[in-house]
Amino acid sequence: MLSQNSLRQLSTSYGKLGKLQEQLSTGKKISRPSDDPVVAMKGMYYRTNLTELEQYKRNLSESYAWMENSEAALDHVQSVMHRARELMVQGGTDTLSPEDRKAIAVEIEQLKEDFVQVSNTQVAGRYIFNGTAIDKPRITDSIDPSSVSTENSPFTIEVSRGIKLQANINVDNVFNKEMMEVWNGIQTALETSDMDSLKEFAGRFDQQTDLISAERSELGARYNRLEMVDNRIGYQEVVATRILSDNEDADIERVIMDLTSQESVHRASLGVGARILQPSLMDFLR
């Protein structure tokens, strides 16, 4: 009986040593759910939360890409329109000859083509200025205003649980049929030296310029909100990581102390066992 008890206690001691050594090598409290079902279940929940936050961070990156490219495009468009406005003022001067106005019309045409090119901006192979029709260009023909797409559905991205932000702009305020009619009208008025038409189109041009400025301001407001959501997601990720660490990570200092103590107990158990497991009468009879 003494021998069996001693062997059983030694086996238990080996098991405790093995568990402590495993915690020390892995840095985790448990290596299998059976070690502590409560810790395992909480760990699954915390990991799911972290995975969700990582996906939201990827969504945030996509939103940043859309908004930053939209901001850059609008900035370029405003520069193009500013130059076009200068040319219209220059073309309206009475001292210019028809040939001079035709030369200005050539530059207006190039500015128009640049405007069309910006309207078909792509991010990761997707058109960002055509609503949810991301597989189709916004403007297919710079000469025909009817070729301008009318798609303007908001392209939303979920950036946090229950929170969706529009990543694109209201394209009808920027790349619209009216704007293409104005571009073509300005070019024709300069080519034909029609000053009355040039003044009319200049007024419509200024109205479109105001719409683009307002749209850029609205985009900036949404970008600021996106940054706020990004900061909150970052804080949530830090907290979730800390909670997961508290739940699963072993206290290395404590594990080392427990391992040292258990090794001392195990050596004592081996010493006691050596005294108990003495040769018996049967050993001598063999």
Q: 46-244 architecture in CATH?
A: Up-down Bundle (1.20)
Handedness of CA 38, 40, 46, 52 (dihedral sign): negative
pLDDT in tens, 229-280: 999 999 999 998 888 877 776 767 777 787 787 777 767 777 666 666 666 6
pLDDT in tens, 63-73: 999 999 999 99
Confidence (pLDDT) at 39: 78
Residue 237 in contact with residue 53, Cβ under 8 Å?
yes
Q: What number is the average pLDDT over the span 137-157? A: 93
Q: Is pLDDT above 90 for 25? A: no
Q: Is pLDDT above 90 for 14? A: no
* Confidence class for position 76, pLDDT limits 50, 70, 90: very high
43-47, 107-111, 119-123, 255-259: which has the minimum mean pLDDT? Answer: 255-259
Q: Is pLDDT above 80 for 171? A: yes
For the chain, count helices (H), then strands (E): 7, 4
From start to end of the chain, where are the E strands?
Answer: 122-123, 126-127, 156-160, 163-166
* Confidence class for position 281, pLDDT limits 50, 70, 90: low
